[in-house]
Structure 1
Amino acid sequence: MVLGVAAVAVFLLAMLTVVVGLTFSVQVSGHSMEPTLHNGDRLEVNLLQRHDIHRFDLVEAIEPAYPGSAGGLAIVKRVIALPGDRIAIAGGEHPVVYLRPAGEKGTFRVDNPAWPTRIGADTASCCTKGLTGGDKERWRTLSADDYFVMGDNWGGSTDSRVFGPIPEDSIKAKLSFRILPRSRFGSIANTVKLVPMTP
């Protein structure tokens, strides 16, 4: 009798864990975050910290409308620039993202190890919204409510290079933990950093 009750309790606990995991998670769709995230990966959502966003955090957000799209889709992207930051993208085939953090005087280059391993050949998406001007950077300052997000797959991501910065209220959750597949279960490493530009 005791063993039967224990077996039922274990079963119910396992089912509750599955239900909670599916309810408070998001599944990656597409290839815009490769090689960091893959199509079908399931990530735990952190709803409590969605207003505590830091540079290079992964987030779930709602895609805004832009020419050719009505928007409204849930997307997974990486935050590159925060409110008040200045950002510029220079170059074409091998572009560089420059950043001047709000309140700082220095200029930095965003070093995302995933970008050089891009999958796809969509270079047009990196050259819109008045950010890129050939080999000469063109700067944009984010408003007090805006975040600039990008995919880790440089050549295959529709992101702020296309639809512009996203407002804070479109960010639904922070993402930092992978639930599935089980072979890659655990925290998602963040290797993106700012590299100071020499004068």
Structure 2
Amino acid sequence: MNINEELKNILEWVICIIIAVVLGLWIRYYIMTPTQVQSVSMKPTLIESQRLILNRTIRLTHKLPERGDIITFEAPTEDYLTEAEFKESPTARYEEPENKFVHNVLEIGKVSYIKRVIALPGEHVKIQNGKVYINGEELEEDYLSSSVRTEAEGGLLVDFTVPEGTVFAMGDNRAESHDCRAFGCIPQDKIESIVLFRFWPFDKFGKVE
């Protein structure tokens, strides 16, 4: 084998590796990816260390999730909306990352939350006496433990209308969930995925509702 053939073989391997990496990143960003539950905010539906498959085709279809869907989204820059920000718009605030590719695609240094969609654009939300009301009607939440009450938890979003192009989401473990009540509604372009199913532990394998 001469030097030219060796270089050709090396180049072919390099090209194959580059294609594999690009394809892998594309699938992970636009199709699906695994993840592990790392908080208690979705108990009893999701428990710490459980493993999930996330459907990320929402980034291709540009469709909003439906009420009841469990989604992941980029954590807002601000933990709490100020009263002035809330009056301006009850929407979560984000700062532009220094390197969008590293932040959005490689997801290095990026923090994501997992919550359940409660209300959709244009809907009026009111949290009162431990219950959630959508457009004046009490929301049935069979997925919650019977003892769970929904309170403000220090946030301002207890009586408002969901802005267009956003969703309002909360954790099922309402007392231990830092969610849209505090930091505001999530813009569509910050929604990363919808939980498809749980694959670990095996006795909990299946669709998550």
Identity of matched residues, %: 32
**Given the superposition, is the C-alpha separation of residues 172 and 110 from structure 1 closer, same or farther in structure 2, using an over 3 Å criterion?**
same
Offset at residue 176 of structure 1 (A)? 2.9
Gaps of 5+ in 2: 1-26, 81-92, 95-109
2:182 equivalent to 1:144: no
Structure 1 or 2: larger helix share? 2
Letter in 2 for 1:112: E
Query: Any idea what the Cα deviations from partners look like across 1:19-56, whole Å, max 9, x if unmatched?
Result: x99x7112111100000000011111111135331111
**Alignment equivalent of 1:97, drawn from 129, 132, 157:** 132
How far apart are the structure 1 equivalents of 2:137 and 2:152? 24
How far apart are the structure 1 equivalents of 2:146 and 2:47? 17
How far apart are the structure 2 equivalents of 1:152 and 1:48? 24
Query: Any idea what the Cα deviations from partners look like across 1:45-95, whole Å, max 9, x if unmatched?
Result: 111135331111000111112247x9852111000011111101112xxx1
Query: Any idea what the Cα deviations from partners look like across 1:88-128, whole Å, max 9, x if unmatched?
Result: 1112xxx111102xxxxxx321122315344xx99662x42
**Given the superposition, is the C-alpha separation of residues 77 and 130 from structure 1 closer, same or farther in structure 2, using an over 3 Å criterion?**
closer
2:68 equivalent to 1:56: yes
Q: Could you tell me whether the CA contact under 8 Å between 2:79 and 2:182 is conserved in 1?
A: no
Letter in 1 for 2:201: P
Structure 1 or 2: larger strand share? 1
How far apart are the structure 2 equivalents of 1:38 and 1:26? 13
Gaps of 5+ in 1: 1-19, 101-106, 132-138, 191-199
**Alignment equivalent of 2:193, drawn from 155, 162, 173:** 173
Structure 2 matches for 1:1-199, cutoff 5 A?
A: 24-50=33-59, 51-52=62-63, 53-67=65-79, 73-91=111-129, 95-100=130-135, 107-113=136-142, 114-118=144-148, 125=153, 127-131=154-158, 139-188=159-208, 190=209
**Given the superposition, is the C-alpha separation of residues 163 and 115 from structure 1 closer, same or farther in structure 2, using an over 3 Å criterion?**
farther
Q: How many residues align?
A: 150
Q: TM-score, normalised by structure 2?
A: 0.64
Q: Could you tell me whether the CA contact under 8 Å between 1:115 and 1:154 is conserved in 2?
A: no
Q: TM-score, normalised by structure 1?
A: 0.67
Query: Any idea what the Cα deviations from partners look like across 1:122-171, whole Å, max 9, x if unmatched?
Result: 9662x42152xxxxxxx311111111000000111000111111111111
Q: Could you tell me whether the CA contact under 8 Å between 2:157 and 2:182 is conserved in 1?
A: no
Flag the structure with larger Rg.
2
**Given the superposition, is the C-alpha separation of residues 31 and 66 from structure 1 closer, same or farther in structure 2, using an over 3 Å criterion?**
same
Q: Could you tell me whether the CA contact under 8 Å between 1:117 and 1:153 is conserved in 2?
A: no
